[in-house]
């Protein structure tokens, strides 16, 4: 019945914007086993960028596949000496990120502005 109303639960849109100082990745929709391939591809394409902000404000649900893609994307960015922050204003997702320890590997903030501040004030290569 949902399809009749134009609702497609497994549709994910991903908006990517280069601001000059950083690139923002904004998935819109559920990040789950059905949509994670698309998210993984976008993160892989962004892996070589120096500063990436992932805004999860428009993600109502994320399962373990989505979390795995997020962690994998961050790992690839770090391997390329990139900085990543995550903005997440949804209490259920924030709780998931804290419970899994995700917030210990990257800054997780409530607002995009806080994520921008954390990203732009991140220490540069300490070699």
Render pLDDT for 13-50 as a digit per residue (tens, 0 to 9).
999 999 999 999 999 999 999 999 999 999 999 999 99
Of 3, 112, 124, 103, residue with least CA distance to 53: 112
Q: Which structural domains are found in the chain, ordered by start?
A: 9-120 (3.30.750.24)
Distance CA 55, CA 24 (A): 7
> What pLDDT sits at residue 83?
94
CB 120 within 8 A of CB 96: no
Which of the four pLDDT bands, split at 50, 70 and 90, describes residue 113?
A: very high
Q: What is the CA radius of gyration of the chain?
A: 14
> What pLDDT sits at residue 1?
40
CB 86 within 8 A of CB 109: yes
Which of the four pLDDT bands, split at 50, 70 and 90, describes residue 9?
A: low
Question: Which residues lie across from 52 on neighbouring strands?
Answer: 23, 84
Average pLDDT of the segment spanning 92-103: 91
Average pLDDT of the segment spanning 50-55: 96
66 vs 123 pLDDT, higher one: 66
């Amino acid at each position: 019945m949902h399809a009749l109303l134009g609702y497609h639960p497994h549709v994910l849109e991903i908006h990517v914007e280069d601001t000059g100082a950083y690139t923002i990745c904004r998935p819109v929709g559920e990040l789950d086993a059905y949509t994670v391939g698309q998210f993984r591809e976008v993160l892989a394409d962004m892996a070589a960028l120096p500063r990436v902000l992932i805004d999860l404000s428009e993600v109502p649900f994320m399962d373990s596949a989505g979390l795995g893609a997020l962690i994998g994307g961050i790992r690839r960015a770090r391997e390329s000496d990139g900085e990543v922050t995550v903005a997440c204003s949804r209490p259920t997702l924030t709780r998931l990120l804290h419970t899994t320890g995700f917030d210990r590997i990257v800054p997780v903030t409530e607002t995009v502005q806080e994520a921008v501040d954390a990203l732009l004030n991140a220490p540069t290569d300490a070699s």
